[in-house]
Structure 1
Amino acid sequence: MTAGDSFGRLDDDDYPAYTMGRAAAMVGTTQGFLRALGEARLITPLRSDGGHRRYSRYQLRIAARARELVDQGTPIDAACRIIILEDQLEEAQRINAEYRRASESPTPPASA
């Protein structure tokens, strides 16, 4: 990998750039909380060659949302379920919007 390749990944939301300690600090939580999210299968960190967990920015956003819900008194298992349902709803809304756009597009005239 060249330096150009690694710098290009800085814009990749899914690139596992953050160690567990750094990720916990960025989210404002503990490493144990991140492990609990992994055990609940809300996020699955990738592993470095040495076996250390690595988190992406996308995973950190999910962890931050989980922390927000838990801070409001939601049990961690319920917070994980809420986040999964929110994600599914967002995806369904995106698909519906695509269908609406496709159905509103004028159809080309049939060729004779």
Structure 2
Amino acid sequence: MPPRSTRLVDSLDDDDYPAYTMGRAAEMLGTTPAFLRALGEHRLITPLRSEGGHRRYSRYQLRVAARARELVDQGTPIEAACRIVILEDQLEEAQRINEELRTQGGQPPP
């Protein structure tokens, strides 16, 4: 097992490490815990739970939540904002895969 200090550095660099409490995440986003709960209800983000059952958010989840908040602030209903963010994420992933295939000389699947 790696030394404790190595594990700590690894978790600090990990975008998926659930480092932020609900209160801290809401504060960072300038929103309310209820907004974060609503994003979970609409399956945009699923926070991990601490041993005590408290929601914990990763940096990646905070970026996703921030994008949803931008859309909601522009007047988009939260349900639609969540769907838009999910579709944007899927498109970005598909584009990344296509680019990898192109650079490897392969062709994307039909």
Q: TM-score, normalised on structure 1?
A: 0.88
Corresponding residue of 2:83: 81
Which segment drifts farther, 91-100 or 59-68? 91-100
Secondary structure of 2:86's match? helix
> Paired residue for 2:23?
21
Question: In the alignment, what sits opposite 1:107?
Answer: none
1:33-112, aligned counterparts within 5 Å? 33-103=35-105
How far did residue 102 of structure 1 move? 1.9
- Percent sequence identity is 77
Distance 1:16 1:97 in 2: 30
Shift of 1:12: 0.5
Cα-to-partner distance string for 1:63-100 (whole Å, 9 max, x where unaligned): 00000000000000000000011011111111111121
Equivalenced residue count is 104
Identify the range of structure 1 (90-99 vs 79-88) with the bigger mean alpha-carbon deviation. Answer: 90-99
RMSD across aligned positions (CA): 1.4
- Partner of residue 110, structure 1: none
- Give 1:2 deviation, angstroms: 2.1
Q: 1:3 to 1:101 in 2, by over 3 A?
A: closer
Runs of 4+ in structure 1 deviating by more than 3 angstroms, as ranges, are: none
Q: Which amino acid aligns with 1:82?
A: I
